[in-house]
Amino acid sequence: MSIQILGTGAYVPEHVVTNDDLSRMVETSDEWITQRVGVKERRISVNESASDMAEKAAFRALEAAGVSPESLDLIIAATVSADTICPSLAATVQQRIGAHCPAFDLNSACSGFMFALDTAAAFIARGGYQKVLVIGAERISRILDWTDRSTCVIFGDGAGAVVIEPGSQYLASKLFTQGTSSALSIPAGKGNSPFYEKEVGDYRVVMNGQETFKFAVRRLADDIKEMCDRIGITTEELTWVVPHQANIRIIDLCARRLGLPLEKFYMNIDRYGNTSSASVPISFDELVRSGKLKKGDLIAMCAFGGGLSSGACIIKW
Ligand code: UT7
pLDDT of residue 58 exceeding 90:
yes
For residue 19, name the pLDDT band (cuts at 50, 70, 90). very high
Give, using CA atoms, the residue closest to atom 11 of ligand 1. 247
* Ligand 1 center–CA 150 separation, angstroms: 5
For residue 184, name the pLDDT band (cuts at 50, 70, 90). very high
Query: For the chain, what percent of residues have pLDDT higher than 90?
Result: 94
Q: What average pLDDT score do residues 64-75 get?
A: 98
Indicate which residue of 152, 228, 274, 313 is catalytic. 274
Chain segment 98-147, per-residue pLDDT in tens = 999 999 999 999 999 999 999 999 999 999 999 999 999 999 999 999 99
Q: Is 47 a catalytic residue?
A: no
Lowest mean pLDDT of 136-140, 175-179, 183-187, 304-308, name the range.
183-187
Query: For the chain, what percent of residues have pLDDT higher than 70?
Result: 100
- For 139: left if phi > 0, alpha if psi spans -120 to 50, otherwise beta; the answer is beta
* Ligand 1 center–CA 154 separation, angstroms: 9
pLDDT of residue 77 exceeding 80:
yes
The pLDDT value given to residue 137: 98
Q: Which domains does the chain carry?
A: 2-169 (3.40.47.10), 172-316 (3.40.47.10)
Give, using CA atoms, the residue closest to atom 7 of ligand 1. 209
Which residues have a Cβ under 8 Å from the Cβ of 177 and sit 6 or more positions away? 108, 307, 308, 309
Separate counts of helices (H) and strands (E) for the chain: 10, 13
SS3 content of the chain, % helix, strand, coil (to 5): 40, 25, 35
Chain segment 258-308, per-residue pLDDT in tens = 999 999 999 999 999 999 999 999 999 999 999 999 999 999 999 999 999
pLDDT of residue 194 exceeding 90:
no
pLDDT of residue 199 exceeding 80:
no
CA distance 146 to 206: 12
Give, using CA atoms, the residue closest to atom 25 of ligand 1. 210
pTM score over 0.75: yes
The pLDDT value given to residue 196: 86
For residue 201, name the pLDDT band (cuts at 50, 70, 90). confident
For residue 188, name the pLDDT band (cuts at 50, 70, 90). confident
The pLDDT value given to residue 1: 66
Q: Cα-atom radius of gyration of the chain, to the nearest Å? A: 19
The pLDDT value given to residue 170: 97
Q: Is 15 a catalytic residue?
A: no
Cite the beta strand spans of the chain per DSSP E: 2-11, 16-18, 41-43, 74-78, 103-106, 132-138, 158-167, 170-177, 184-185, 206-207, 240-243, 298-305, 309-316
The pLDDT value given to residue 189: 80
DSSP 174-194: EEEE-TT--SEE--------T
Chain segment 221-256, per-residue pLDDT in tens = 999 999 999 999 999 999 999 999 999 999 999 999
For residue 179, name the pLDDT band (cuts at 50, 70, 90). very high
Q: Is 244 a catalytic residue?
A: yes
DSSP 238-270: -SEEEE--S-HHHHHHHHHHHT--GGGB---HH
